[in-house]
Structure 1
Amino acid sequence: MAPQVPKIKLNNGTEIPVIGLGTWKSKPGEVEQAVKDAIDVGYRHIDCAYVYGNEKEVGAALKAKFADGTIKREDIWITSKLWNTYHRPDLVEKNLNMTLSNLGLDYLDLYLIHWPAGYKEELADFPIDESGKMQFSDVDYVDTWKAMEELVRKGLIKTIGLSNFNKAQITRVWDNSTIKPAVLQIECHPYLNQSKLIAFAKSKGIAVTAYSPLGSPDRPWAKPGDPQLMEDPKLIELAKKYNKSPAQVLLRYQIDRGVITIPKSVTKSRIQQNFEVFDFQLTPEDIEYLNSFDCNGRLCPLAAGYGHKYHPFENDEY
């Protein structure tokens, strides 16, 4: 029997499982099986996004697992994200409907604004001009948020939240919203421990999800010689103490901080191993030790968005 996954209660009363399967960078031809394997292992939370380009395969896996009786729709938490070219309020529902159609669902458990910075609408997902520069949209993400609220009222989304927003941006949404953000999804691992932003979000009653919790070793822009978190000798030594893998220690680090985590894998054995994190706990001293690895080591900087007035990492302390 798979362990009962602990859940975190959100500010709207819903409960989200503390571990989910991430699907960013999961290639076509791999992700359908990965989602099926994850559900069979016991995962009840899948993290998706329109821009990942693989939601149809995730949908095929869900359909198969509903059909074979492994799960019912209400048993599983599905998150997706509004892409940057759909920030204009009249396009928000269009992008959501594309995701729902791809996933074969009639509602999402959680929908996030993927980034605060919008790109020029109704072109490609990455609208580059002749000089290779990203074309920006000047839509205010607060207006985007108001359109998201409307979709909750329509019953298409249960919960809404933010991804990659900084403290000032979260505050603006919070102060101008009827439905408060329930979740903040951010890059988070010991090289970028996000302690200040997590504390700020929690002070508002916003739960935090850590993406790239293993240090995103397969990020497309990684260069030879870049630091690899999972190969850090200090982490490897700590993992030996618990008789666990470095990955398992990194996932437990988030869970013990009260942070939801969504490791990505398409390998069945790793999907299984990443789930085997409920039979140990890190000591407070070891959590502090892992916090000390912080070097502001951001791996996902949205380089294409540099210069956008809403770029989240250029204009605020955290």
Structure 2
Amino acid sequence: GSSNPQSPRHARRRAETWRAMSDLLSEGRARAIGVCNMSPRQMEALFEATGVLPAVLQMEFHPALQRNDTLRWCLERGVVVQGYGSGGGYQKKGRPRTGPDFLSAPAIKDAAVAHGVIPHQIVLRWTLQRGVIVLPMSTNSEHQRENLRLFHFDLS
């Protein structure tokens, strides 16, 4: 089989799955349904098949991967965007960090100093100000507290 997500077979499977999820929604067995890592074209195809747009799109979103066209498409249609990867990757205990290192970019570091916060808080706040829900990951209680301290400053 084809591993190309644009193949007709994958499109058919997405439509079948979306139809089943839409049925759960109309039956009241789900309050909302969403998708992950889909393009506007793929979401339009789901809508054409069922008349139902996703309530939420989860996608990687951070300064190094802004996806402005997809974000604009979603915001114009009321599709909530939930961004992951706002920390620039992740790190498993005892393993090297993976993902882009935009947290050490001069503009982000300078903004952090100007606002008296850490670079990660700048990126989370920037993401929120773009209209994207953040999905920060941390098992460290201090980092979790930092993730909550985002609303005492604005970025221009």
TM range (shorter): 0.7 to 0.9
Structure 2 length-normalised TM: 0.83
Letter in 2 for 1:275: L
The Cα of 1:225 is off from its aligned counterpart by 9.2
**Displacement over 6 Å in runs of 4+:** 222-226
- Give the corresponding residue for 2:109: 236
Tell me, yes or no, if structure 1 residue 149 matches structure 2 residue 149.
no
Q: Distance in 1 between matches of 2:91 and 2:140?
A: 13
- Give the corresponding residue for 1:316: none
- Give the corresponding residue for 2:13: 140
Contact 2:91 2:98 in 1 (8 A): no
- Give the corresponding residue for 2:135: 262
Number of residue-to-residue matches in the alignment = 148
Alignment of 1:1-318 (within 5 A): 117=5, 138=10, 140-218=13-91, 227-283=100-156
Q: Distance in 1 between matches of 2:96 and 2:147?
A: 25
Contact 1:164 1:185 in 2 (8 A): yes
Change (3 A) 1:148 1:224: closer
Contact 1:217 1:228 in 2 (8 A): no
What percent of counterpart residues are identical?
Answer: 27
Unaligned runs of 5+ in 2: none
Q: Distance in 1 between matches of 2:98 and 2:146?
A: 27
Unaligned runs of 5+ in 1: 1-115, 118-136, 284-318
Contact 1:251 1:277 in 2 (8 A): yes
Report SS of the residue matched to 1:184.
strand
Q: Distance in 2 between matches of 1:262 and 1:204?
A: 22
Change (3 A) 1:254 1:191: same
- Give the corresponding residue for 1:93: none
Structure 1 length-normalised TM: 0.43
Contact 2:90 2:98 in 1 (8 A): no
Change (3 A) 1:219 1:160: farther
Q: Distance in 2 between matches of 1:225 and 1:150?
A: 39
Structural RMSD (CA):
2.5
